[in-house]
Structure 1
Amino acid sequence: MSYEIMLKRIYAPIEDHDGTRVLVDRVRPSGLFPNLLALNEWYPEIAPASQLCSQYRQKKISQSLFLERYKRELKACPDKLLPLMRFARAGRVTLLTAAREIEDSHLPVIKELVLSALEEEDASDREFCSSPCLAHTLPTSQR
């Protein structure tokens, strides 16, 4: 199955084709009133840990190390992906951030892991899980 997950700055214009709009930053962006954001969900729990963000902002770690650690952080708690997976199954999702450079932010990591988890789940749904699932393949005399 194909899923659409878009990445966008929270300050970009709201568009009809955004689908479900989910802010995935730990804090709400300053200067914007919540009612003007047209958010369907604010999901701060999936944002990188404060300490990790702080290290990155203070240039104590490189961008690649930040992204690697963040990916490890999410893989350690795969349940954090579930709400976004549900939204993606329902239709287009737009992940939002206040970060200036989206491609250098945490959004591509979230998108990659959500799509990967959806693909994995879809693949497991296509597998037979027990002998009753295979019963239809047996001759009638063996059922």
Structure 2
Amino acid sequence: MIRIKRIYEAVSQDDGFRVLVDRLWPRGLKKEQAQIQLWLKEIAPSAALRKWFDHEAEKWATFKNSYTQELSTNKAVKQLVDAYKKHPNMTLLYAAREQQYNHALVLQDFLIQKMALS
């Protein structure tokens, strides 16, 4: 199971293997508080795409398509898939306040589809 969660939410046993999927370290959070097993900066959207999107709902469809294209050629995807195979209970962690329009949702969908095709 691949879950997503804000990194600022309380750590839970249900989280399983915790992976931070943001390019930047979350503000105000100490590394020991995060309790992550993996930080995959490289799997986050490119800086240009992230800045362009800025969590604006009207840009969501274009952002999803652009980020999915980035993921299709991103070498970090293999590292995340390999981690999932070892730890099938995984939580993708993100810092954004926006819970409905964020890259972790796109990444979760991408991984679920990729696993279904494997």
Same fold (TM over 0.5): yes
Instruction: Give 2:11's aligned residue.
Output: 14
TM-score (normalised: structure 1): 0.75
Report which of the two structures shows the higher radius of gyration computed on alpha carbons: 1
- Cα separation, 1, equivalents of 2:42 and 2:55: 22
RMSD between aligned residues: 1.7
Residues paired across the two proteins, number: 116
Helix, strand or coil at the partner of 1:102: coil
Distance 1:103 1:89, change over 3 A: farther
Instruction: Give 2:91's aligned residue.
Output: 94
TM-score (normalised: structure 2): 0.89
- Cα separation, 1, equivalents of 2:84 and 2:106: 15
Structure ranking higher on relative contact order (CA contacts 8 Å, 6+ apart): 2
- Cα separation, 1, equivalents of 2:99 and 2:19: 14
Deviations 1:85-131 (A, max 9, x none): 1222222000000011233101111111112222212xxxxxxxxxx
**Are 1:7 and 1:102, in contact at CA under 8 Å, matched by a contact in 2?**
no
Structure 1 outlier segments of 4+, above 3 Å: none
Return 5+ residue gaps in structure 2 as ranges.
none
Return 5+ residue gaps in structure 1 as ranges.
122-143
2:2 matches 1:5:
yes
Match of 2:67 among 64, 67, 70: 70
Shift, 1:19, TM fit: 0.5
